[in-house]
Each structure stands twice: as structure tokens, then as C-alpha cells.
Amino acid sequence: MSGGASASVRLEAQPPTLAAPRSDSVAGLVSTDAFPLSLEGVHKRWDKNQAPILDGVDLRLDLGTKTWIGGRNGAGKTTLLRIAAGLIDPDRGRVHAWGFGPHDKRSRYHRLVAFLPAGDRGLYARLSVRHQLRFWAAMAMIDHAAREARVEETIDAFDLRELAEQRVDRMSMGQRQRVRIAMTFLPEPETVLLDEPLTSLDSEGAVVLDRAIEGLIDRGGALLWCSPSGDHPEHEFDSDWMLEAGRLVAL
Amino acid sequence: MSEFRGSARAFREVLARDLRVYLSYRSRLASQALTSVFSLTLFYYVSQLVHVSGFSSPGAYFGFVIVGIALVGVLYSCFSVADTVRQELIAGTFERLVLSPFGPVRSVIAMAVFPLLYAFTMAAFTLAFGWAVFGLQLHWQTVPLAIPAMALALLAFLPFGLAFAALTVVMKQGNVGTSWVIALISIVGGLYFPITLLPEWVQTAAKFQPFTPATEMLRHLLVDSPQATSALVTIAKVALFAAVLLPVSIWALRRAIREGQRRGTIIEY
């Protein structure tokens, strides 16, 4: 394992200061002595007759780092991401990002942490790409004055200009995936959680995703990417983990 | 940007989204307008045919029932938010709303706005059509007052929709009894006939929901139907229902979502 994410033994280490200037939209939102993501002793059991899917997971993402977690199907990667995103609660354990919990400072947490779920859901079928982005920009409470510009920037950044007026239900799976990724990066989050982001993406789409990730890392954010164990992306990650029997094992 | 202004703009964007989705189904407006026209025609001829006790003329009953028909549409729109939540759960957009800074509770409330405004418009169309084609006697002096009265009524009706949306989050079904609840309300709310025709115990039970006084208030303002109590008392009743039920329904919705997150069922559909 290289630097980047840390297991529980390193949680006592002094938190680093911000490595890169924050964007204006989040300046003042973040606590400077906080990590992009910190999971401590996270447990989750779906069925009381079965072993826990997550059995005391500790994970910390450091500033400006990329982390990959692999594992077999059903190992708990998606559950881990959903918990980290604040979508579902762990049975036990703590989740924090930038000093905030997903429920104690709900709105702030979700301004800073973005999650791309696996699959092709989460889109309004009958809205165009532009209206989709405009809608989610409003839900992200992006400043009204900056919102339109941000939507246009995102359309360009994800090569969606030609598709901007097209309805989502008339697009291919790969094009939809690109829209979903664009929606994830649209509010300029500081921590990005990706669940199998390469699904249906062509090589051009993968390049667009790479660019977005580099932008995130350059501004001091952090990335957590999950995919099945035999599907390690070509990216160079700062740390690689496997989720096995509910625990993270460093590679 | 203040939180309030941001929320107001997000509300507006939900409204714009719903309008865009609605307009993407091109035949829907014509279809619903036709349904309204056919209902009016049916009740017009029924009112001509049958002498209804308690009404001085066929026109008086037609005026009575046309307001009821308009309000049934409003009722349906209140409950439609539960179905919208169901669709969002299936599409996977609900979990995105849960993860958005705007949040799921405000989003669900915002989702109710378009159907309510639409029902309000359709109600106005129904009344206007009844007036223009069937000679409905509108009480023009008080018709403008029906607009704020309807807004108040919507605030009293909305909690039922939010409560059913909360149920949908828990049960994952869009029509958890909404159809029979609407049918029941149509009866005890006096939408098609006066509740004085009902057994006394039903009349007593009908006092404990906002639909009866709201319907009575709107009928009085629109077609000058007599009221059992003074207008102020009726308005106070409706306002009281809104003041009590709205916070309770919002709490129930918030609680349903948090419980779904705690148990992990928020991702199910």
C-alpha cells in the first residue's frame, strides 16, 4: 500500500493541512483539520442470520489522493460507499467528511461529498441533459449567479455539448453514464465516491472521467473508487484495498 | 446566497422540472380537459333529470356538484405526491435527492406544488366551462376570495399527501390506500351531495377532517351555497387543520426517510 488512504492504526496521526487552495464555492465550509473522508469501526449487517457485510471498517482518505477498493461481487463495496455518502447508516461506527457527519450537518456534508452509484439509474428520463444538469445544480444549492455558467462548464468538460438538448431516454447507456458522471462532478465536490464508474463508458468517456478526477485531485480533493476485484482501473492510485469478509485488506 | 433564497430557487427548479416532464406528454392536457368536460356534461344532465331534495332548482344542485368535481381534482393532486415519490424511488432519483444539499423532505414538498397548481388551474377551467356552456351561476362578488381560500384549503389538504408519501417511502408502494381514502373523502367531505344525507355518526366523524369545511367554504364563495356556520368559523377550522397537520406530516416524512436510512431500506423500491 502506498500513501493516501489509511487504516485505523494511522488514525492517530496528525491530520494534514489543506494541500491545495479550495474553490470559492466551498471555502469556509470545510474544517481545515479534517479529512476528506473518515470511516471508523463501521459495521453493517443486512440480515441478523448472516455475517456482517462490513465488520469494523476503518478508512481514511487524505487530501489530494486516489483510493481504490476492490472485492468480489457482494463483498460490501456498494454498501461501504452508500454509508460513506450518507445514504444509509452503519449499525455502528462513525462517518465523517471534512469534519462533518452526514446527519449532524447534512447539507454541508452533501455539498462536499458526491456519490456516483453503480448502474444507470438516477436520471429523469424525459429531461434533456441541460435541464438535468440545471435541476441537479439547483438541488446542490449552487449559487444562482454561478449556476448557469457551472452547467455550461460541465457540459463542455464532459463533452456533452452535442447531447445537451437531447432527452436522456433517447441516449445510449454510455452517454447516460457520462451524464451521470457529469452530475456527480457538477457541484465541484471535494470528496468523490465512484461505484464502478467505467460501466458502459467508451475510451473517450474514460478520458473525460480521468480529466475530472485530475481536477479534483489538483484542488486537494479525494477520490474513492470501487469496482470488482478483477476490474482494477488503469489509474494509478495512492492506495489499493480489497474488501474481504467485511474488512479492508491493504494490497 | 442565503439558505432561504437557495431553497426558494430549488423549489422553483422542481416546479420547472415537473412542468417540463408534464409538457413532454403532449396529449395529457387535452385528455384531462376532456375528462373534466365529460364529467360536467354528465352531472349537468343528471341535475336536469333528477329533483334533488334540499336544492331549490336543478341549477342549484349543478352549482353544488361542480365545485365538488373541481375539488376532487385537487384532492387527487394532493395524493399524487405519493405516486411521484414512488416513481422517484424506482428511477433512483430519490436517493440522489436524499444526497442533495436541498434534501429529500423539501424536495417532496416541492414535488407537491406543480400538481396542486395544475389542479387549481383545472378547477378554474372546470368552473369557467360550467359557467360558459351550462350557465353555472357564479357568485362573482366573492369569487376572487376563493383564490386565497383555495390556497388555505391546499395547505390543509397537503398533509394527507405528505403522509402518504411517507408511507410510500416505508412501504414502497405508491397507492397505499390512496384510492379508497379519496373515495371516502369524497363521501364524508360532501363533494357530490350534502353530508346531511349521511347517518348522524358519519356527519359527526366528518367534522374531524378539513375537507368538509373547506368544501363548504369554497362553495359559499363560488356559488353562494349557504353555510352551516359563519365564514370566519369555517376559515378558522381549515386554518387550524393546516396548522396542526402540516408539521405532523412533515415530521412523519422526515422520520420515514431517516428510518429508511437507518435500516438501509431507503435504497429499495
Residue A51 contacts B where some CB pair is shorter than 8 Å:
no
Tell me if A98 is assigned to some domain.
yes
**Tens digit of pLDDT for each residue in A124-159?**
999 999 999 999 999 999 998 999 999 999 999 999
Pairwise CA distance, residues A27 & A46, whole Å: 38
Q: Please indicate, yes or no, if residue A228 is contained in any of the structural domains.
A: yes
Chain segment A39-83, per-residue pLDDT in tens: 999 999 999 899 999 999 999 999 999 999 999 999 999 999 999
Select from B12, B24, B100 the Cβ nearest to the Cβ of A140.
B100
Q: Quote the CA–CA distance of A181 and A153 in Å, as a whole number.
A: 14
Q: Confidence class of residue A33 from pLDDT cuts 50, 70 and 90?
A: low
Which of A124, A170, A180, A199 should one mutate to test binding to chain B, selecting the residue with the greatest count of B CBs within 10 A? Answer: A124
**Angle (deg, nearest 10), helices B146-171 and B104-134:** 130
Question: How many structural domains compose chain A?
Answer: 1
The verdict on a CB contact (< 8 Å) between A82 and B100 is no
Asked if A86 reaches chain B (Cβ–Cβ under 8 Å), the answer is: yes
Residues of the domain holding A49? 29-122+174-250
The pLDDT, as a whole number, for residue A16 is 35
Which CATH number is A220's domain given? 3.40.50.300
Which amino acid, residue A146?
A
* pLDDT average, residue stretch A183-197: 97
- Smallest CA-to-CA distance from A43 within A249, A246, A225 is with A246
B55, B56, B60, B61 alpha-carbon torsion, rounded to 10°: 30
**Closest to B95 (Cβ–Cβ): which among A89, A117, A134?**
A117
> What gap in Å lies between CA A112 and CA A217, rounded to an integer?
14
B26-47 pLDDT, tens digit per residue, is 888 899 889 989 999 999 998 8
- A18 versus B21: the higher-pLDDT residue is B21
pLDDT exceeds 80 at position A32: no
- How close is the nearest chain A Cα to the Cα of B52, in Å? 47
In a domain, A78, yes or no: yes
What cell does B131 get?
Answer: 359557467
> Which residue among B5, B92, B99 sits closest to A85, beta carbon to beta carbon?
B99
What's the half-sphere exposure (Cβ side, CA atoms, 13 Å) at B156? 24
Closest partner CB to A122 (pick from B92, B107, B262): B92
Q: What is the pLDDT of residue A139?
A: 97
Residue in B5, B6, B96 nearest the CB of A122: B96
In angstroms, what separates the C-alpha of B93 from chain A's closest C-alpha?
Answer: 4
Q: Is residue A24 part of a domain?
A: no
Looking at residue B174, what is its pLDDT?
67
CB contact under 8 A, A87 and B6: no
Query: What contacts 24+ positions apart, CB below 8 Å, involve B179-188?
Result: B181/B79, B182/B72, B182/B75, B182/B76, B182/B79, B185/B75, B185/B209, B185/B211, B186/B68, B186/B72, B186/B75, B188/B212
Residue A141 maps to a domain:
no
Residue A143 domain-assigned (yes or no): no
**Interface pTM, i.e. ipTM:** 0.89
CA–CA gap between residue A69 and residue A66 (Å, rounded): 10
| Shortest distance, CA A247 to any CA of chain B (angstroms) | 19
At residue A8, the pLDDT reads 38
Interface test with A, best of B96, B97, B107, B262 (most A CBs within 10 A): B96
Alpha-carbon A192 to chain mean position: 3
Residue B51 has pLDDT above 90, yes or no: no
Secondary structure tally for chain A: helices H, strands E: 6, 10
Pairwise CB contact (< 8 Å): A123 & B93: yes
CA distance A78 to A46: 13
Query: Residue B267: which of A88, A126, A141 has the nearest Cβ?
Result: A88
Locate the chain A residue with the closest alpha carbon to B110. A139
Mean predicted confidence (pLDDT) in A3-7: 51
Mean of all residue pLDDT scores within chain A:
88
How much of chain B, in percent, has pLDDT values that exceed 90?
65
Distance CA B113, CA B120 (A): 10
How high is the pLDDT of residue B204?
Answer: 86
Domain membership flag for residue A180: yes
- Could you tell me if A126 lies within 8 Å of chain B, comparing CB atoms? yes
> Looking at this protein, which amino acid is placed at residue B196?
T
Q: Is B96 on the interface with A (CB under 8 A)?
A: yes
- Greatest extent of chain A over all pairs of C-alpha atoms, in Å: 53
In this structure, is residue A71 part of a structural domain? Answer: yes
